[in-house]
Amino acid sequence: MKNFISLIFSMLLLLAINAQTTHDVNSGNFYYNPQTITIDVGDAVHWINDGGFHNVNFDINTITQTSFNNPESFSSTPTSNVDIYTHTFTIPGTYQYDCSVGQHAANGMVGTVIVNSSSTSVAENTIPINSFNAFYQESNHCIQFNVVVDQQNSNAKLSIYDIEGKLVNEQQINVYEGNNKGAIVLEERLSLGVYLVSFSTQRATVTKKIIVN
């Protein structure tokens, strides 16, 4: 039984990693294509060089010399390589950027990345678990959850794993038919990174990916 549970978790972990999509953006003189891209939290963007000497600059607007005021700031080193840069976005919001090389930005080499705040389900949502959501509240270092089930269960479990599959915390909880809201207070604050929060009954398991940043 223990080996079976380990196998199931390994499959869930693999699905969670695969759920982190990488989006390609082609770059050249003087464009990013697509110019605007919408992704989810945890996704990565890979900029590909079609030709020329370019970078991606999410820090200081090259044209106005003022801050983009993005949720986070970074800038890559200009290069003529095919691979310009890859960045994983862990903070939701709208990001503006440009190419800081020469007059590239002034010639239209600017772009936008819109990062949606969404939680990714990485397990089949089977009855009797009708829905499950979870997020980390840093101020109280707790996991808040909302789960809807079709029958009472006094042996349900809420488990938290890090991205390497190590169990961080696990507590048995009692849920009732219908909507259940609650919180699991952690002994220590979670470090930055990706975690899996799993809610399980004897009949089903649903896992959500959360990102602490």
123-141: pLDDT as tens digits: 444 435 778 888 888 888 8
Q: Could you say which of 97, 116, 135 is where a domain stops? A: 116
Q: Which of 90, 116, 142 is the last residue of a domain?
A: 116
Amino acid in position 108: G
For 15, 136, 173, the CA distances from 124, given in Å and listed in that order, are: 11, 22, 21
Question: One-letter amino acid identity for 26?
Answer: N
Q: What is the CATH number of the domain that holds 77?
A: 2.60.40.420
Whether 9 and 49 map to the same domain: the answer is no
Number of domains in the chain: 2
Q: Following DSSP, what letter does each residue of 68-137 receive, concatenated? A: ---SS--BPPPB-SSEEEEEE--S-EEEEEE--STTTTTTT-EEEEEEE--PEE-S---TTEEEEEEEEE
**pLDDT in the model for residue 29:** 94
CATH number of the domain within which 172 lies: 2.60.40.1930
27 & 110 share domain: yes
Cα angle for residues 71, 77, 81 (degrees, 5° grid):
120
One domain, residues 110 and 150 = no
Q: Answer with the one of 69, 97, 116 that is the final residue of a domain.
A: 116
Instruction: Check whether residue 130 and residue 168 sit in a common domain.
Output: yes
- Please count the other Cβ atoms lying within 10 Å of the Cβ belonging to residue 78: 17
Q: How much is the pLDDT for 20?
A: 65
Give residue 128's pLDDT: 57
Render pLDDT for 93-115 as a digit per residue (tens, 0 to 9).
889 999 999 999 999 999 999 88
Q: Rounded to whole angstroms, how far apart are CA atoms 55 and 167?
A: 40
Please tell me whether residues 10 and 86 are part of one structural domain. no
Does residue 200 share a domain with residue 156? Answer: yes
pLDDT attached to residue 49: 96
Q: Are residues 208 and 136 in the same domain?
A: yes
* The pair of three-digit structure tokens given for residue 152, joined into one six-digit string: 């009472």
Helix (H) or strand (E) holding 207: strand 205-212
Looking at the fold, whether 91 and 30 belong to one and the same domain comes out as: yes
Q: Looking at the structure, tell me whether residues 101 and 169 fall in a common domain.
A: no
Same domain for 90 and 162? Answer: no
Question: Quick one: pLDDT at residue 122?
Answer: 39
Note the pLDDT of residue 15: 47
Residues 159 and 140 in one domain: yes
Q: Which residues contact 25 (CB under 8 A, 6 or more apart)?
A: 32, 33, 34, 37, 45, 46, 47, 48, 111
DSSP β-bridge partners for residue 44: 22, 88
If DSSP codes are grouped into helix, strand and coil, which group holds residue 67? Answer: strand
Low-confidence ranges of the chain (pLDDT < 50): 1-19, 119-127
Q: Which domain holds residue 57?
A: 21-116
Do residues 21 and 97 make contact, with C-beta atoms less than 8 angstroms apart? no
Q: Are residues 9 and 65 in the same domain?
A: no
Q: pTM of the prediction?
A: 0.52
